[in-house]
């Protein structure tokens, strides 16, 4: 019960904060699809008012912003199945070749074999500690800040990663489908 209250409070804070000055809504259900391009074989579609994917080709698929971003606050509302492998990729070096080595990836992967790099981590760059964050089967809010080399991820109101990394400075943002079901309800950005 306590976890649901934290998630509900995070969603309320996210809804209120995202309406302030400087925030731009990139995706709001079916609105904003024109801000993205699909990369890979995943058939992204709008169902029940949200962008979702539940199948793909042999490799992961991505929904990639047409614009590039450097320093920003990012707020993403998402729902993931328990077996989902997904993530939010940022400052991607090449918008046509999205990888967890050429982008910063805020992971959504509850069943990752090494849970320290699972949900809440920046893949290959930070670890999360026990109790390991879980996103499966519920709506979640990721709040991510990239300012210069400082990267911070907050999942449902709990800071899960806070690192310094100088490798990537500018590029598009990508939403990933890798396995399971992933739904994105809202994506908002505030450039810094």
Q: Tens of pLDDT along 118-141?
A: 999 999 999 998 899 999 999 999
* Tens-place pLDDT, residues 102-121: 999 999 999 999 999 999 99
Domains and CATH numbers, the chain: 2-191 (2.60.120.560)
Half-sphere exposure of 123 (CA within 13 A, CB side): 22
* Tens-place pLDDT, residues 29-44: 999 999 999 999 999 9
Q: Residue 3: pLDDT band by 50, 70, 90 thresholds?
A: very low
CA distance readout (Å), 96 to 39, 88, 93, 171: 7, 15, 9, 11
Residue 180 backbone zone (phi > 0: left; psi -120 to 50: alpha; other: beta): left
- For residue 56, the model assigns a pLDDT of 85
3-state secondary structure of 3: helix
Q: Residue 20: pLDDT band by 50, 70, 90 thresholds?
A: low
Q: Residue 11: pLDDT band by 50, 70, 90 thresholds?
A: very low
* Average pLDDT, rounded, for the chain: 91
Query: Distance between CA 108 and CA 185 in Å, rounded?
Result: 15
């Amino acid at each position: 019960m306590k976890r649901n209250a934290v998630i509900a409070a995070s969603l309320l804070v996210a809804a209120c904060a995202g309406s302030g000055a400087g925030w731009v809504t990139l995706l709001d259900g079916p609105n904003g699809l024109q801000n993205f391009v699909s990369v890979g074989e995943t058939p992204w579609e709008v169902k029940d008012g949200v962008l979702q994917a539940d199948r793909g080709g042999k490799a992961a698929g991505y929904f990639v912003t047409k614009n590039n971003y450097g320093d920003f606050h990012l707020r993403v509302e998402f729902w993931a199945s328990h077996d989902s492998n997904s993530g939010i990729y940022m400052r991607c070096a090449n918008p046509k070749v999205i990888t967890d080595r050429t982008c910063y990836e805020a992971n959504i992967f509850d069943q990752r074999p090494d849970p320290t790099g699972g949900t809440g981590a920046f893949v290959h760059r930070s670890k999360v500690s026990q109790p390991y964050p879980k996103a499966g089967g519920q709506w979640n809010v990721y709040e991510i800040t990239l300012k210069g080399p400082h990267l911070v991820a907050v999942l449902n109101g709990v800071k899960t990663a806070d690192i310094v990394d100088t490798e990537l400075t500018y590029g598009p943002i990508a939403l990933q489908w890798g396995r399971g079901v992933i739904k994105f309800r809202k994506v908002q950005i505030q450039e810094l």
